[in-house]
Each structure stands twice: as C-alpha cells, then as structure tokens.
Structure 1
Amino acid sequence: MTRLALLLMLCLLYSCGTKAQEVLSQKRDTAYFAGKRKHVTIPFKLVHNLIIIPVKINNSTELNFILDSGVKNTLITRLYYSDSLNLNHTNKLYLNGLGTGYDIEAIHSTGNTMSLPGIRGDNHEVYVLLEDIFNLSTRMGMPMHGIIGYDIFKNFVVKINYSSKRLTLYRPDIYVKTKKRAEEYPLHLDKSKAYIFANINQHNGDSLKVKLVIDTGASHSLSLYLPSDNRISLPPKVMEAYLGRGLNGDINGKIGRLNSFKIGKYELLNLPASYPDKEAIQLAINLSNRNGNLGSEVLKRFDVLFDYPHKRLVLIPNKKFKEPFHYNLAGFEVSTPLPGTNLYIVSNVVDNSPAKQVGLQPGDQLLLINGKSCSDLQLTEVLEMLESKPGRKLKMKLRRESQEIDVNLVLQSRI
C-alpha cells in the first residue's frame, strides 16, 4: 500500500432496518448506452488508488464519484451549496455496515436518472447520507460527491486501464477478446459482490486458499479476516493502524507483510496486508464465507477486465507489476481543507513514525518539499514524494500558526 494510511474502506454493507430492507428489495434500475454503441471509453482520475469518474444525477452538473466494485447501492456522501439533484420519491431511513459506531441517517430516493458520458440509467436508486462521515473531499483533494459500483458492473463488461487512466464499458452481450498475456479467472457472483479465489503464503510457510471480494473502492492491497479461518495468522512484525472508515465508524486493526500473494500464474511478493479488528467487520465475516477483500493496490498493477455477464475476471500485468509495496513511509497523512486548491495540511501523525520523530503536528501546513513549492503540486504529486522509497531524505518547510519550520525527514518502512 503506497497511499499513506488512507485505506478508504468503501466496501459498504447495507444491512439496514426493516424499512430499508423493504426498499432494497425493490426492482433495480437498468443502465445502457445512450446511442447505438458497442463500447464507450471514459477518462478517470486516480487518487489514493481510487477511480474517480464523472456522474450526473437527474439535472445535476457532473459530480465526482468513486467507482467501487464493493458497493451495492449508489451513495451520495456530500452535496455542496451549488449542487442540485431534484431527487424523486424520497423517504428517510437508517443504514448500518462496517465499522464500530452508530447507524447513519440517510434519504432513499427512487425514480432518478443517472448518466455518464455515453451512458444512461433509468429508475435509479440513490442513498444520500445526511452526515459527511467519509470526508472524501478533504482526503481526495477535490470536491467529492459519492460512490457508485454495482449499477455499472452488472450492466456492462468493464475494462480498467490503470496505466492510461481509462475506463471502457462494453455491451454486456459482447465477449471481449483479450491479449495472449492475459490470464482469465472464474468470477464468483453472490448478490452484488464479485469474488475470486487466490493463495497467500504466510510467514510460517503456510499456503492458504482464500476467498476475497474484489474491491476497487479499497485503496490497500488486501485485507484478511482473522476470524474467518483459524489458519490465517498475524505476521511476527505488525503495527497498530487506522485502516479506514466504514459506514458505521472507524475501522482499526493491524498491518503486516505476507510472504506472497498468488492469483493464477501471477505472484506478488512481500506485500502489506491489513487485519481488521473483529468488532469492525462483524457484519462481513459470515457473508459468502469470505476471508477478506482484494484492493486496488494490487489491482492497479494490471489491466483489469470485470466481465460479470460471462462470470470472468481477466488480468494483464502492466508496468507497475514489479514495483515494491510500501506502506506509509512518512508516517503522516495529508488533507486538503479547501478541496480543489493546492493547500496541504498534516491531518494525522502516526506514533513512532519518521514524522513523529521530527516533530510534525496535525495542522502543520506543507510549504516546500525538496525545494518544490507545494502550491505548485497536485495531491498525487505530493503523495508520490512522500511514498517514493525507504531511505529517501525529504527537506520540508512547514507553517505552524505564524512560524515557518524546517525539518529533515527520512522515509522509513516500519513493517
């Protein structure tokens, strides 16, 4: 995982109250090409390993949504004063899912239209959270509005090219041909979730077959649920970590390294795995006998074809396949209090980390990194500098209240 400690746990579970269960059982929407097309290609942005695409709901302007294969229902997480959706047929309900906390009040709306470039969806269901619990905008560095997933994956063959940052949607009746280097795997569909089987090799030499939900909305490499199989064990060297945010609160746990992760003929070595606390994933443990989830820190190393209609997953390694896995080398997180601007603030400092050792504090503003003005850098560029490789030295200038402070920070792996 190279994207700091921002594991955005967006594999949301809508295990709702009685009223919510009733509306969730209603007929789903459909999505289709707006013209006589066989495919459409949509550029996307990639931040924290998460795919951001433009979506319109009813008469809205283009809104920024995360494309999340782990989420069932379209979720609006934040609306700004200038956003207008004119949602239809609304009622209030409560949602609960991953995390330890309280149920979230939301508005459920049916009969809406949804559109992407070249795509239209009718009778679209939307859930609007009445509290911005994810704070996606400050974490992603731009105004963020929501999450969309199954509504796209169930209606199209979906190809994600992480290298070129292009999303291609094909008609569901088309069998997309693949290159010789591609390897195809059975895709196991259970309700709205897609699963694959893979093998992990642990520190003690044990090799286990695990069932993982494929989750483009999780920015980490993979997550393993200890209670799902007593053979899954913690590595000898782990660190306590904040793993992300679920629908009902924070998800904490531990992070350590696996010897390897293998899917088919492709093997990835020495990658970080997260082990969430049991309390935070209680609702997920017994679902489809899953052992965890596979996130985008692994997926981004391939061109990925999600073919729900033909129940297959296709992977082709890209130029990032052999890159080493790093995890939070600097020891702090970055937020943007004014999304869309190049203003970067230290939002969290990890204990016993390089950032803690040199005295960084939450609220410090990043001014310069190795002579480069942060006001000239996009968030992805700042993150790349903070996550480059262990041993790299960073000369940083910070603003703390009215003072400017110089610090020298050396990136370090702690797992």
Structure 2
Amino acid sequence: MSVSYVVFVMTRFSRFILLCLCFCLLFSEAIGQAFASDTVYFTSKRKSITIPFKLVHNLIIIPVQINDSKQLNFILDSGVKNTLITRLHYSDSLSLHESGRISIQGLGTGHEIEALYSKGNYMRMPGIMGMNHEVYVLMEDVFNLSTRMGMSIHGIIGYDIFRNFIVKINYSSKTLTLYRPDLKLKIPKKGEVYPLHIENTKAYVEAGVRQHNGDSIKVKLVIDTGASHSVSLYLPTNDRLQLPPKVMEAYLGRGLSGDINGKIGRINSFSLGKYELQDLPASFPDEESIKAALNLANRNGNLGSDILKRFTVIFDYPHERMILVPNRKYRDPFYYNMTGFEISTPLPGANFYIVSHVIDDSPAKESGLLPGDQLININGRDCKELALDELLELFDTKPGRKLRMRLKRDSKLVNVEMVLQSRI
C-alpha cells in the first residue's frame, strides 16, 4: 500500500542553542535490523561522485529525494542510523510504502514520541540510488530545524550513506565526495589515519582531553557530524572527568525525547593523534538528559562538527578508519555565543531574523535586546541582504568587537550597541 503525506507546518518556534541537533536515535533492536536488506549504490560505473553541500551552524545539508518527492534538504548526521523525516511543508508531498506506526526514543528529558515508519522506498541523490529504503516520519516537529537553519529542512540521513561508501567531507570547498567502498584511497601527504570502531551503526574514535588541572584522559567518542558543537563529555562515565572552574548553565539543544540541559566550560586541549587543539569549549550534559546513552558502547561523549570542520575528513567505514587533513581553519580560535542571544527565522528561506532568546548577564542583555526584536541592520549591513551563515559570522568574530544594531520593536526602530565578549 502506498500512502501520501502532507505534513502540517509548525508555527511555534523554540529557543534553540544548537549544540546538538540530534543525538542518537534509540530504536528497538528489531527495528534496527531492517537495515540489513537496504541497498544504496551508484547509478553509473563511476568510481566517485561529488555533491555540493550547504553548511549552516557547522551542519551539512544535502539534497535527497524519497520516491517521487521533489528535492528535499537533509542534514547529514553520522550519529543517526535511521532516515528521518522531521517536517514537510504545505507545498511538499511524499508517497511512502507499507506504512505503520511506532514509538521512538532518544536523548532528552521528555518521553517517547510517535512516528510513522515505512519500508520499501526509493532514496535518490545525484548519481545515487537507494532501494528498499526505510523511512521514519515524526508526527511532531520536535527539532524545529527550519526556523533554526534559515531554510527548509525536511529530514536527517546518516548511516545509509556512511556504510555504503567511502565519504570525503571537504568543509573548505563545501563538497561531499562519495567513493566506491572497494577503493583503496591514497592517504594525503598531510593526512593522519585513525582506527574507527563501528558498533551498532555508529563510529567511535579514541581521543585525549587535557583538563584545567593538567590531568590528561583518554576518551571514547561517537563521531557526530550532526552536532554543531566541538565536543560533549559525559561526566558520569569517568570519575576523572571534571567540570572546568568557570562554567555557565546552558540549554544544550533538543534531543528526540526532549530538552538537553547542562553546562559549558573550556578544556585546556583536545587531541587526535598528532593534532592538538587548544582552549576549546566543551559541553557537559546533565545526567538526566543523557541517561539513554550512558550505557551505550562505554562511550564518554561525542565529537562534533566545530572540530571536524577544521579538517578535510574521510570516513572509511568499509575499512574501519578515518583520515584527517587539516585545512585553513585548523588554527582558528574557538568562540561560543559571544553576543548572548539566539535568533530564529520564522520564514525559512527569507532573510528575516528574530531574537528568540536573550541570556542573562550577557552583552545582549546589557544592551537591552529583547525577545521578539527583528534584526534590521548590523554595522551598516542590511540584514535582508545577509544569509544566515553570513549573519552568524558577524557574531563569531573575536572578543572586543563592537556591534551597532538597528532593530524593529513593536513597529518602532531601536538602535543598540554591544561589545562581544567570552563568558567562559
């Protein structure tokens, strides 16, 4: 049986500090076994295919078609094993086969949510076909991805791509290159190879963390291209892991089952083989928010895209290895929300930006910024002419930079000034 869905548009948007869009989805073992029958392959005899992607909030957005749908925007998330439709818009329709209903659970402090699941579908990307594809459709748009990303986001895809190809992510050129899985790629001159541990569809790597007290700890981290932060550490998994002396309470993001809260603080360094990154922010989720993940694969946290984007990354699941080549951003300093406010885009695709949340004791709070303010002009630049990633670059420059902002508040224009500062 084929069923067509037109999913309603959610009008409410949440304050959403995007440290982790999507931690793991924790489906039952029986559901997870469905992947054994799905096939994804090249539609030609080429050895590789290169696909441009968009990068917003450090997250990779690629074009995907499901059955006869138009081109949809999916986040490429190595931390997710099931293809997930998070939201369709009024103009979107999608025909799915053999549908049923299921309750699913993930990280967060809430409960299970309802989803439709469907087997026997086709998945298409440029030059790629997937057969007998399994798709899940959330009955509620719990992530609100479109308002956060500034464009229509329809879903999340991960393991189906990584397990079937050798995947090269070039963050500098914003290109995704997929190679046939039987190829033996030549290791770039400046590249370093790391063993990957593939466990229950997820890839893990061993890294080193040096804390404020000089203590160095080896940690096992799941690699998560769908997490926009640098690194997340789970304190309950190792008695030696400690909070930094200076931290701030933070809303870390939205898991499938609810909000993820915790703290943000800086660690002295993070090392992968010969590469060592200094003075970077780490998130420390509350135990309640991550209890569903604490007993999975003895992991100590996850490695996110604020680190990965400083390299060209080759994920070679077929040969259980990862290759890193540093790019021009390798030595860039790590900044974290130096304005103290969040923005959303209630009209995804339009350069229309609204202040969604203002953090206490922040530059934004001191300057008088209020939730609901519309951004009109920043340092002489019209916000209507700024894409979201361009706007975010203005907020991520070095501490001490002054921002002169014109806002619309209750039909009146308001001018404010703030100075960027690091609070951790």
Mark yes or no: TM-score above 0.5. Answer: yes
Look up the SS of the partner of 1:323 in the other structure: coil
Aligned partner of 1:247: which letter? L
Q: TM-score, normalised by structure 1?
A: 0.97
Where does the alignment leave 5 or more consecutive residues of structure 1 unmatched?
none
Aligned to 2:324: 315
Give the drift of 1:12: 2.3
Give the one of 16, 27, 30 matched to 1:22. Answer: 30
Question: 1:316, 1:187 → 2: CA distance?
Answer: 16
Q: Residue 355 of structure 2 contacts residue 370 of structure 2 at CA under 8 Å; is this kept in 1?
A: yes
Is contact 1:374-1:382 (8 Å) kept?
A: yes
The within-5 A match list for 1:192-231 is: 192-231=201-240
Q: Which residue identity is paired with 2:270?
A: F
Contact 2:21 2:143 in 1 (8 A): no
Whether 1:7 and 2:43 are equivalent positions in the alignment is no
- Which amino acid in 1 is paired with 2:263? K
Output the CA distance in 2 between the equivalents of 1:193 and 1:47.
23
1:8 offset after TM fit, Å? 2.9
Quote the residue 1:385 is aligned against: 394
Question: Alignment partner for residue 84 of structure 1, among 78, 93, 101?
Answer: 93
Instruction: Give runs of ≥4 in structure 1 deviating > 4 Å.
Output: none
Assess if the C-alpha contact under 8 Å between 1:188 and 1:196 holds in 2.
Answer: yes
User: 1:11 Cα deviation (Å)?
Assistant: 2.1
- 1:137-216 counterparts in 2 under 5 A? 137-216=146-225
* Equivalent pair of 1:28/1:125 in contact (CA under 8 Å): no
1:268 matches 2:277: yes
| 2:66 aligned residue (57, 82, 94) | 57
What letter matches 1:322 in structure 2? Answer: R
The alignment's C-alpha RMSD in Å is: 1.0
Query: Does structure 2 conserve the Cα–Cα contact (< 8 Å) formed by 1:9 and 1:243?
Result: no
Q: Paired residue for 1:66, among 75, 79, 84? A: 75
Q: For residues 264 and 102 of structure 1, what CA distance do their matches in structure 2 show?
A: 39
- 8 Å CA contact 1:5–1:328 kept in 2: the answer is no
2:267 is the counterpart of 1:258: yes
Q: Distance in 1 between matches of 2:338 and 2:107?
A: 27
Question: Aligned AA for 1:250?
Answer: D
Once residues 332 and 144 of structure 2 are traced to their aligned partners in structure 1, the CA distance between those partners, rounded to angstroms, is: 30
Query: Deviations 1:118-169 (Å, cap 9, x if unpaired)?
Result: 0000000000001011000000000110000000000000000000000000
**Partner residue in 1 for 2:5:** none
The two structures have a TM-score, normalised by structure 2, of 0.95
Give the conservation status (yes or no) of the 8 Å contact 2:166–2:316: yes
Map of 1:35 onto structure 2: 44
CA contact (8 A) 1:11 1:68 kept: no
Aligned residue for 2:292, secondary structure, equals: helix
Q: Name the SS for the 1:152 alignment partner.
A: helix
Calculate percent identity across the aligned residue pairs.
66
Distance 1:121 1:13 in 2: 21
- Equivalent pairs counted in the alignment come to 408
Instruction: Tell me what 1:233 maps to.
Output: 242
- Farther-moved stretch of structure 1 (403-412 vs 79-88): 79-88
Q: Which amino acid aligns with 2:30?
A: E
Shift of 1:336: 0.5
Q: What's the secondary structure of 1:142's corresponding residue?
A: coil
Determine if the alignment matches structure 1 residue 293 to structure 2 residue 293. no
5+ residue gaps, structure 2, are: 1-15
SS in 2 for 1:25: helix
Question: Residue type matched to 1:8 in 2?
Answer: C
Equivalent residues of 1:157, 1:305 under 8 A apart: yes
